[in-house]
Amino acid sequence: MQIDQHTPNTDTPTTWPRRSVLKAGAIVVGAGLLGRFAEARAAGVSATDYQGLDAWAMAEAVRAGSLSGEDLLAAALARCAAVNPQVKAVNMLHEEYARTLLAQRRSAGHGAQGALAGVPILLKDLNTYLQGTPTSNGSRLFRDAPPAPRTSTLIARYEQAGAVPFGKTTCPEFGLTTTTESLLWGQTRNPWNLAMSAGGSSGGAAAAVAAGIVPVAHATDGGGSIRIPASYCGLVGLKPSRYRTPSGPGHFEGWFGASVGNVVSRSVRDTALFLDAGQGHEAGSAYWSAPLARAYVEELRRDPGSLRVAVVRQSLTGAPLDAAVAATLEQTIKQLTGLGHEVEELKLGVDPRELFGAHGTVIGTALSNLVHEREQAMGRAANAQDLEQITQVVLERAKATTGEGLYRARQSFERIGAAMEQPFERFDVILSPVTANLTPELGQLSLDQPWDSYAQRAMGSAGFTVLANVSGQPAISLPLGQSDNGLPVGMLFTARLGGEDVLLRLASQLEQDRPWAARRAML
């Protein structure tokens, strides 16, 4: 079966048969407290109960025997069928893969084991692979690509911990923009307001979680692609430290380490749970992040203490803050001081031209290489029917990049990374908005438009987020505010390299102080 070029005009995701099965392992991790919804019925889970469960509660219910992985998968598929025609977040279903995986575990006696036991998840359809299934990268150029011969290491780790992948989520072509719209799959809509963007490039992942299809979805972040859609969709979105999570097999870093994988979720504890399952050095890789002092889920129980918080108000693109974003920033500062943290203003010593120039050089070169590899596989050159307008411009500009230019970009990454560690000699975390603007209307940031209009509109979207990708530092978006018309507003916290523990302790404290679980998109 092949991807139909006209699939965006349909109401259901493409269903792909599973061609082979990766043998799943199982690890038993200590249980914790049952979530408040863990009394779900043994006969299954209602739609209401399913949407009230986070991944932590689901896994505990499966381990306790009150739910099964089959129950949760059925509920996830039912919710997908009910809301995906509206949000268009899921573009492929791999139901056979999931059912085969569950049957294999049950026959091996591992059906209720693992920190993520039975939790249904979705994969971002970008440079991430599930054995026997295709990956489109959001591009018509890859619509006939062969199925993956093996599963990405990060996804295999989720499976080994008990998670159940059953489909893929939409992304823009090659993840190049901060909305999720493509000529291949159409427009992914924000569950909070269907006229608005869900963000990008992990907008399909964020829309699927915000719409209640899954409690957690895999996502990647090379310039803000976890944090921006998390902010726009009212979710938790952590970009880990460079090399905290694996990028292989086959290659061990994306965009010189700027792009990393993790998840978007509704709760801080789910983010910690999946980071524990996914993190760690990958065999064969020359890169790794600092080892953990303790499991991340244990950090949630630890008091963050009185932190020194630096506030950055100005976007590196110079875009002014929307009134709701500025108000949420002030509200967050008040919340932090009320919790005993010290807050001080900070102006970053980073040259925006060097930052965005180096980041753009690396992205353009990586894209050029990917397209050339695909052209060789197809035996023909890509054309205007394969690629969107902005993608073509990026590729054309990449032709001017020399080996020396790429080397200088790598040096800029290192220089900016060193410079961004300096503020952490005085501060524990840096607070800023995630984006300068609220969620944009669909169409404003699509890749199918002239470069000049796109560049002007994009100024407010990634001016705060790209820095942590280039510096390699961990950064988390938390759903701490809303606009007058009900759109979510996220705030961004950044820590020193390897400082996910500090971010998670603070995030847990903020979540407990002003819970956001009751704020849900009404679909």
Beta-bridge partners for 479: 490
Task: Judge contact between 150 and 249, C-beta under 8 A.
Answer: yes
Q: Given 136, 201, 259, 477, which residue is catalytic?
A: 201
Query: Which single residue is written with the structure tokens 């869900």?
Result: 198
- CA gap 516, 504 in Å, rounded: 16
One-letter amino acid of 498: G
Longest CA pairwise span in the chain (Å): 63
Q: Annotated catalytic, 182?
A: no
Q: Given 124, 152, 247, 412, which residue is catalytic?
A: 124
Rg, C-alpha atoms of the chain = 21
DSSP code of 141?
G
Residue 93 has phi, psi (to 5 degrees) of -110, 135
Q: Given 225, 247, 289, 461, which residue is catalytic?
A: 225
- CA gap 273, 55 in Å, rounded: 9
Q: Are strands 475-482 and 429-433 parallel, antiparallel or unpaired?
A: unpaired
Cα 207 to the chain's mean position, in Å? 11
Q: Annotated catalytic, 334?
A: no
Q: Annotated catalytic, 66?
A: no
Residue 362 has phi, psi (to 5 degrees) of -65, -45
Helices (H) and strands (E) in the chain, counts: 16, 16
Residue 518 has phi, psi (to 5 degrees) of -75, -15
Residue 181 has phi, psi (to 5 degrees) of -145, 135
- CA gap 82, 139 in Å, rounded: 26
Task: Judge contact between 131 and 100, C-beta under 8 A.
Answer: no
CA torsion through residues 324, 329, 332, 333, sign? negative
Active site residue ranges = 124, 201, 225
